[in-house]
């Protein structure tokens, strides 16, 4: 039997820890509960918002509709050979617990994505990525329920239109689908070890590890993240607030003349990706605090809530950062956090 709550406090349900209420709120733990909810008048008469663990969202106002928390649980093996395993993971599973579980089974592919906050169902929406790996590399398919028709559909990897922090679920299908499970293909032997990201190599070198196991990679990534990124259980944040912008090579070359130290990574399509954190730091924002809203002291890409900042205060800080980066570099920063 589903339980629809009214005027639900969302502060404990978003990692920014900002105050917001949902007019209605319901946690869905099984497919049957979702079916039941979809027949309910509160569902039929209200707009709805699907929430995982609230780690990529900033509430700037109360939500005058139904918030549905996706808490579907379970991991099952769909297919297995000597060399690989396909697992179907229900969307409400915690992402990092899944990583730990896979590493323990010696299933490789997501160890670089250790310690990313959030649920499994949220992972494909923004194609989570860190330390040289994006989740699209191991996703076989994503299954979800159409919030209007109730039909279940499975999108194969190539149908998900994955890009940098992007997918079909953030675009054409935005807020139309309740993701129910994600199927991943992981390696059982000859893992594709990825230590291309400088910081991983440095840690492994310090530890005199030349042929790391996936466990060692996972540990190294966790160590890096802990040293750079604020722990959302201690200080409100949603990871990177902005995406790293891509600019034309000509624009980058102009900027190099003015700012010789500007970092940039050339991509295949004649563009250069510039770290937003660098741009923000150059504008003097790193470590700045306005009331309880601030820019993290260790990583300028992360906005934080020191205690009681409101969503509007954090968003207003973000807008000020966007304008100063635009003014100094003529680069338009885009937020990757979902603003509501």
Closer to ligand EPU at the Cβ: 188 or 288? 288
What the block records as the tokens of 46 is: 């209200």
Classify burial at 172, counting beta carbons within 10 Å of its beta carbon; exposed 0-12, middle 13-18, buried 19 or more: exposed
Under the binding rule (CB under 6 A), the answer on residue 286 touching ligand EPU is yes
- The Cα–Cα gap between 187 and 134 comes to 15
Question: x/- contact string, 182-221, with ligand EPU (CB under 6 A)?
Answer: ----------------------------------------
Distance of alpha carbon 188 from the chain centroid: 26
Cβ atoms within 10 A of the Cβ of 44, count?
10
Active-site residue flag, 165: yes
Q: Where does this chain touch ligand EPU (CB under 6 A) — which range of 74-82, 173-181, 235-243, 305-313? A: 235-243
- Which of 119, 240, 310, 338 is the binder for ligand EPU (CB under 6 A)? 240
* Residue 336 lies near ligand EPU (rule: CB under 6 A): yes
Query: Is residue 162 part of the contact set for ligand EPU (CB under 6 A)?
Result: no
Among 53, 127, 183, 244, binds ligand EPU (CB under 6 A): 244
Binding range to ligand EPU, per CB under 6 A, among 81-89, 202-210, 240-248, 317-325: 240-248
Q: How far is the CB of 152 from ligand EPU (least distance, A)?
A: 29
Beta strands 5-9 and 246-248: pairing type?
A: unpaired
The answer to whether residue 301 forms part of the interface with ligand EPU (CB under 6 A) is yes
Q: Are strands 236-240 and 48-51 parallel, antiparallel or unpaired?
A: unpaired
**Of 95, 97, 98, residue with least CA distance to 118:** 95
- Figure out which of the listed residues 25, 95, 169, 278 binds ligand EPU, where binding follows CB under 6 A: 278
DSSP strand E in the chain: where?
5-9, 21-28, 48-51, 57-58, 63-70, 75-80, 84-90, 129-130, 133-134, 139-146, 152-156, 177-187, 236-240, 246-248, 265-267, 271-273, 289-290, 293-295, 302-305, 338-339
**Which residue, 2 or 139, has its beta carbon nearer to ligand EPU?**
139
Q: What is the gyration radius of the CA atoms in the chain, in angstroms?
A: 21
By CB under 6 A, name the binding residues for ligand EPU: 130-131, 228-229, 239-240, 243-244, 263, 275, 277-278, 281, 286, 299-301, 336
Instruction: State the catalytic residues.
Output: 165, 240, 336
């Amino acid at each position: 039997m589903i339980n629809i709550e009214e005027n639900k406090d969302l502060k404990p349900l978003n990692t920014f820890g900002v105050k917001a209420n949902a007019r209605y709120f319901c946690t869905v733990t099984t497919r049957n509960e979702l079916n039941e909810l979809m027949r309910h008048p509160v569902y039929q008469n209200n707009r709805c918002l699907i929430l995982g663990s609230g780690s990529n969202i900033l509430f700037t106002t109360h939500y005058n509709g139904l918030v549905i928390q996706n808490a579907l649980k379970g991991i099952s093996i769909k297919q297995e050979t000597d060399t690989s395993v396909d697992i179907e993971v229900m969307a409400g599973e915690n992402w990092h617990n899944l990583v730990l579980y896979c590493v323990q089974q010696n299933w490789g592919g997501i160890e670089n994505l250790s310690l990313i906050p959030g649920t499994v169902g949220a992972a494909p929406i923004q194609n989570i990525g860190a330390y040289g790996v994006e989740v699209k590399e191991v996703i076989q398919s994503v299954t979800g329920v159409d919030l209007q028709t109730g039909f279940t559909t499975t999108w194969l990897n190539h149908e998900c239109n994955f890009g940098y922090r992007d997918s079909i679920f953030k675009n054409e299908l935005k807020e139309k689908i309740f993701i129910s499970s994600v199927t991943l293909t992981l390696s059982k032997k000859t893992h594709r070890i990825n230590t291309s990201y400088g910081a991983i190599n440095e840690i492994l070198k310090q530890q005199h590890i030349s042929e790391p196991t996936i466990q060692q990679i996972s540990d190294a990534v966790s160590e890096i993240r802990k040293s750079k990124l604020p722990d959302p259980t201690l200080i409100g944040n949603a990871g990177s607030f902005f995406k790293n912008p891509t600019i034309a090579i000509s624009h980058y070359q102009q900027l190099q003349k003015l700012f010789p130290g500007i970092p940039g990574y050339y991509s295949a399509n004649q563009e250069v990706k510039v770290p937003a954190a660098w741009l923000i730091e150059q504008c003097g924002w790193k470590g700045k605090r306005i009331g309880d809203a601030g820019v993290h002291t260790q990583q300028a890409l992360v906005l934080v809530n020191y205690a009681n900042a409101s969503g509007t205060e954090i968003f207003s800080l973000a807008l000020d950062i966007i304008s100063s980066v635009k003014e100094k570099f003529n680069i338009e920063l885009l937020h990757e956090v979902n603003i509501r």
